[in-house]
Chains A and B, each alone.
Chain A
Amino acid sequence: MSTRNTLLEVKDLHLQFGGVKAVDGLTMSVHENEIVSVIGPNGAGKTSAFNCISGFYRPTGGCITFMGKSIMRARPSRITQMGMARTFQNLRLFADMSIVDNVKTAAHATMSQSWYDAFLHTPRFRRTERACEADALAWLDFVGFSGDPEAFVGQLPYGGQRKVEIARALATSPKVLLLDEPAAGLNHTETQHLMALIRQIRDLGVSIVLIEHDMGLVMDISERIIVLNYGREIADGTPEETRNNPQVIEAYLGSDEEDAQ
């Protein structure tokens, strides 16, 4: 593990909303090409930490480094352009755009097309649009989407929308992919497909950070598990180590002392 390069490093991260400490001294790191899960009881600060890392919340303290550069004050769009993509806990697709356009939107920062190319329909416009469309369709194919890419996202069932969201995140060309509860609302078969898909994405050379409540999924695919409670990490290790860690068991089930009281 130590031979791998570190892509993302979070040190002593703090996030406070008024008197509530959502993230309280979180330290974690993500290496190249690995699958890391972040778990913890409800309200442990998992999504808040994600939002800090991807730039949507401004942390109140600490430091976040991505590929050697500080991203503490960067806009979310800038962080995505640097190579960190994310999905959202509640699906957030562009509802009034077609499925393929949703994925094409993600190529925004990587395609070299200017507004006058579109205005004048230059050869570069046609070339970039076709390349962008080919990529979008290939990503949809990659995530296992089979259906009409010209349909609107609202016409898709929940599982299909999840796939489109992952395809869209991949189309931004990430090095690290943050998945916020990707299995929520999926049935058993769909979850199995999701697991295979996450491994395939890792095999492309993308690191995956996963927030998930489905323990079967987490234990099965994670190489490393980080457990959060009260906004700080309480454990960091392989699935086996995590399963037997008394602090983790205490966080999820409560301690004997608490029961005695």
Chain B
Amino acid sequence: MPLVLKKSSSELLVPPNRHQMPPPAPFRWRSEKGALNVLGIAVFILALAVPFITASPYVISILTAGLIYVMLALGLNVVVGYAGLLDLGYVAFFAVGAYTSGILTTTFGFSMLEAVPVTIVVCIVAGIIIGGPTLRLRSDYLAIVTLGFGEIIRLTARNLEITGGATGISGIPSWSFFGWDMADGLVIAGIEFNGKILLYYFVALVVGLVGVGGISRLSRGKMGRAWKAVRDDEDAAEAMGINTYFTKITAYIIGAVWAGLAGQLMGTYLSAISPTSFTFLYSALILMAVVLGGMGSTPGVIIGALFVSLAPEFLREFAEWRYVLFGVLLVVTMIFRPQGIWPANAVFPWSPALAARRARRAKATEAPEGSAAGGPA
């Protein structure tokens, strides 16, 4: 039986009153979506400028770690925020990506760039192997099983010889393109870029930009609607002709690939990985970034990931109290904004003008329906 039945367009039921297709919406920066794009570009340029403002290795390295968290949170957002699959073992894919690229480059002599496609393929396979049996389960059961798989991956890495056991893998090379190695550094227009720290920041920034753009584009297409439909009501989604099992697997695979790439980036950045980098704590922190920022909301998830990775650094002056304060901050945020810092259904959550417009719209929607005056003509 073919997976998708293609109907020829003549067989399709066409609404009798179908009008001309609406013209494509012109780009308006004053529109909500346009303003969001402008804001995104501004943030990206600002992030690009940071190393020119302060080249302190400490600031750049915590920002790079923050960007890796952003990538992970974006990937988990597809799984949890869009498709509604509670995954408590997400760090497993991070580990798969880090170990795959680490083994390929140290043992098999691959260059970092050559390892990228292999990492992607291995993550897809891992996504199918882990997702295949677990995605038949629903909510609570799925959470427990993914938790188990996360631990299985970590313990396997700890006990295999090829993964270096408890000590892990060290001496992972950096990126090299056409004979130039990133560790050599780079001099452009008299400004010297130190390889190890600065360049990884830029790589993480560019990869993060691809993630933000790509994932939010996917979420607005056919696949994204299917994810959200499955999240909101699995049975109703099936009744709409959406194969929910297949849809959940696609969300899982995209999440897995994204975490794998983040893992590869982290492996080469730190040049060493060990099983302790992939404990349940990290799965929990990434999930927290997604829930805190706002499930299914790209700007929210970015804010959440930066908060989760940077807040402990900012709280450093409180010494041993910093994790207590971090916890209190989280609890307070969740009490006052349970739907997340930047909820998915709000384009600009704080704008009073938009809130007023939305309220007017809601009213306008209700009036003609409630009076039952409208109806099929």
Contacts and interface: CB of A to CB of B under 8 A. Distances in A.
Which of B19, B22, B229 has its CB near the most chain A CB atoms (within 10 A)? Answer: B229
Nearest to A121: B217
Nearest to A128: B222
Interface stretch (B109-117, B132-140, B233-241, B270-278): B233-241
Contact of A110 (B7, B20, B369, B372): B7
A50 to B, nearest CB: 11
Contact of B238 (A76, A97, A187): A76
Interface string B1-29: 10011110001111111111110100000
Interface stretch (A11-19, A36-44, A148-156, A246-254): A148-156
A106 B241 contact: yes
Nearest to B375: A193
A10 interface: no
- In this complex, the interface size class of chain A, counting residues with CB under 8 Å from chain B, is 35 or more
B238 A77 contact: yes
Contact of A119 (B6, B214, B372): B214
A126 interface: yes
A117 B231 CA distance: 23
A131 to B, nearest CB: 6
Nearest to A108: B242
Contacts of B37: none
A138 B217 contact: no
B22 A92 contact: no
Contact of B18 (A56, A135, A145, A172): A135
Contacts of B236: 88, 92-94
9 contacts: A81-B4, A94-B228, A106-B240, A108-B241, A109-B5, A125-B221, A146-B369, A147-B365, A193-B372
Interface of A: 54-56, 74-78, 80-82, 85-86, 88, 92-97, 101, 104-113, 115, 117-119, 121, 125-126, 128-135, 137-139, 141-148, 150-152, 155-157, 159-160, 168-170, 172-174, 187, 189-190, 192-193, 196-197, 200, 204-206
Interface of B: 1, 4-7, 11-22, 24, 214, 217-218, 220-226, 228-229, 231-233, 235-244, 250, 296, 344-345, 361-362, 364-366, 368-370, 372, 374-377
